[in-house]
Amino acid sequence: SHSYTKAGTFTIIHTVTDLSGAGNTERATVKIVPPVVTVSGLVTNNVGKPLSMAKVTLKRGLTTRTAYTNITGTYKFTKTLPGIWTITATKTGYTFSGSVTVNAPTGSVAPTITAN
């Protein structure tokens, strides 16, 4: 048994030797794929109406992703690595106070961002 601390492709070498000294070695390649989450949510105005075409930015460290809300005000970031992300929204004519921080460990999260 072995635990891997990061995603990647690894070669495993397995050698079996019997009591008489005869043996066999086999190699196998194992690909460890990181889990991913979906971060989706809603952007609304100050009275709760959905805002379409708002620019939503998802940021963690040097990684930045951008999406735009659809007609129902929803946004979605698929195949997102788990972790703590900061989400901001912008749209001409609207002011948003700060950002929303989400901890996306597994599955999906759906924060709402509301304009002032």
Instruction: Please give the structure tokens belonging to residue 53.
Output: 């075409």
What is the per-residue pLDDT across 39-57, written as a single tens digit (0 to 9) for each?
A: 889 999 999 999 999 999 9
What is the per-residue pLDDT across 27-37, written as a single tens digit (0 to 9) for each?
A: 988 888 777 88
59 with 85: CB under 8 angstroms?
A: yes
38 Cα distance to chain centroid: 6
Percent pLDDT > 70 in the chain is 92
pLDDT at position 90 is 95
